[in-house]
Structure formats: structure tokens, C-alpha cells
Amino acid sequence: MEHILEPSMTQLHDTLCQMLLYGHRTNYDWVTNTDVVIEHVMAEAETMEWECDISRYWLPKSRWTMMVRQYLDPEGVREWLTQVKKRAEVKNANRMVLRTRTVAASFRGNATTRSLGSCMLSLSISLQPQPTVLLHSRTGYLGYLSPMDWSVAYHCGRLAAQEIGLNIADFRFVWFVETIQYHRFRTIAYPLGDAVERKRFRTAVMQAKEDGTLQDYTALHRNWEQYQKWLKADKEGLSYDTMSPYRSYQRPRKRYHSQVKGVEYARQYADPGNKAFPLLPPCDVKSLRLDKIGLE
């Protein structure tokens, strides 16, 4: 089992993303055609200090609304908060568990997503010996939806902390995840969505090329290959629909164009029925709320 400990949620998330992106192929438990995977990870943060802008991961705020509606049953959350409050003064008040909704599989053509069920399974809170929020996940996509998963834990934990007069930053965060994954193109916002990380990404690729070892760094190599395909498509003037008919494949390239190169640049690759994405505004995870499901 991998066990990672960092001072804050922010640092923990960066560590996990870099572990997957820059890892040697021998560091992964298995590799598929699209993903690299590490199994059975226990990731801990000493405080739930969580600094993250979801636009940096090319995620719109609407994705948050979709996430909480999929995973959280409002009445179930209310019952959980009541349980937390009632047990706050009980000795060894531990493991008040909130189970997430079961998310049904989605079928699109020949592709099936969530065929094994929900990615997030449960959230629990304990108060002794130190206030802790634990998120249990079946799987997690680092550098893609992981900020959303963690923000569900953060905001449910925030409401629980308010019920008992505590500050969420004073809680520890523990993520037990059965597999963490890093995708060939869905997670490419991690190396490309931030100027500092873009520089680190390019430097790592150039060093591995010089050493003749780039193919040994599977995720790094795949993200670089995908990036080079976009550069080639741009040079050839290929529109989004021309490059691929699949919107899920088009989406990261479209986000890269608008978020990194600018909306005007993106418009030259748009199609009549497939416009360039607008620029996503900054969105701090701490500003997110659960009001869309009536909890705030």
C-alpha cells in the first residue's frame, strides 16, 4: 500500500499528481492503453487547508453542480450532520459515515463509463483523537476530477465542523482510494493548465529525451505525445470536428486553446456547430457551495 503524508490537502494533491505524471513505469501497479494505475493508496494531510482553482484543471463550475447532485442525497447529508452533532460530546465519537449515492453506469455508443459503480463510496468523520475527515473512493482520476472529489469531502466536512463549532482547517484529511489513475488525455490539464507546471513538464520531457528514457516514463510520454498531436493539428489547421468526431476527445484540446492560447486563437479551429469554449473564470474550491441541493 502506498502511504503519503503531507502538511495540507493542497500539497498532498500536488504530490499525488506529480507521483503519477512523473513516475517511472515500474512505479505503477498496472498500465492500460489509456491509464496508469496505482492501487491501494492511503493519502493523509495534517490539515484540511485546500487551495485550488478548478479552472486550472479546465473544469467549469457546472461540473461541481453535476457532481454534488450525482453523489449527495440531501436528506442523507442532513441525517449525517444531525448524527455528528448528537455524538460530538460522546467519548470516542468516531466513524459517523455518510454513504454517497450509487451512480449508474453511462452508455454512449460502444463506450461505458462507471461500469463498476460510483467512484466515491463514503465519507466519514471522527473527532478523537484528532478531528478527521476520511474519504473512501473506489477510484480517482488525479489531475482531472480529483479536485472535485476532494471538494465534496471538504464542503461536507465544513458543514459538519460548523455543527460542532470547529474550523474545517483544523481537521486532518485522509483519502483511502482503491486505485488512483492518470489518463492519456483527460488529465492533460495537470501539466498544461499552469505555467509553472508547463515548464516542469517540458524540462522533464527534454531531460528524458536526452537520456533516451522517455518511454520509460509512461504518463509523461503519453501526455507529451498527446500534446504533440495537438501542435501538429494546429499547424495543419485541423478544426475540432476534423481532428476527431468524439467530443470527449476534442474537449481537452478546446480547453487548452481557450485557457492557454486564448479564445481568439481557439476560434480559428471552431466548426459551425462546435464553437470555441469561452474562458473559464477563476473558481476557488472554497467558494463552492452545496446550495444547489438545498443544503446552504
pLDDT in tens, 236-278: 999 999 999 999 999 999 999 999 999 999 999 999 999 999 9
Who contacts 188 (Cβ-Cβ below 8 Å, separation ≥6)?
Answer: 223, 226, 227, 252, 256
Tell me which of 35-44, 126-135, 219-228 is least confident: 126-135
Q: Is 227 helix (H, G, I), strand (E, B) or coil?
A: helix
pLDDT in tens, 203-244: 999 999 999 999 999 999 999 999 999 999 999 999 999 999
* Averaged pLDDT, 121-149: 95
CA angle, residues 219, 221, 227, in degrees to nearest 5: 100
**Do you know the residue count of the chain?**
296
Any idea where the domains of the chain sit in the sequence?
2-189, 190-267
Task: Give the separation between CA 77 and CA 86, rounded to whole angstroms.
Answer: 14
The CA dihedral of 232, 234, 239, 241, to the nearest 10 degrees, is 40
Amino acid identity at 72: L
Which residues lie across from 123 on neighbouring strands? 98, 135
- Quote helix, strand, coil % in the chain, to nearest 5: 45, 20, 30
Cell of 198: 508547463
pLDDT in tens, 150-203: 999 999 999 999 999 999 999 999 999 999 999 999 999 999 999 999 999 999
pTM metric for this prediction: 0.93
Confidence of residue 141 (pLDDT cuts 50, 70, 90): very high
pLDDT in tens, 90-118: 777 678 999 999 876 565 555 545 556 78
Task: Give the separation between CA 120 and CA 100, rounded to whole angstroms.
Answer: 7
Report the candidate in 40, 118, 53, 26 with the shortest Cα–Cα distance to residue 280. Answer: 53
Q: Is 179 helix (H, G, I), strand (E, B) or coil?
A: strand
- The pLDDT of residue 95 is 84
Who contacts 107 (Cβ-Cβ below 8 Å, separation ≥6)?
Answer: none
Average pLDDT, the chain: 94
- The pLDDT of residue 103 is 76
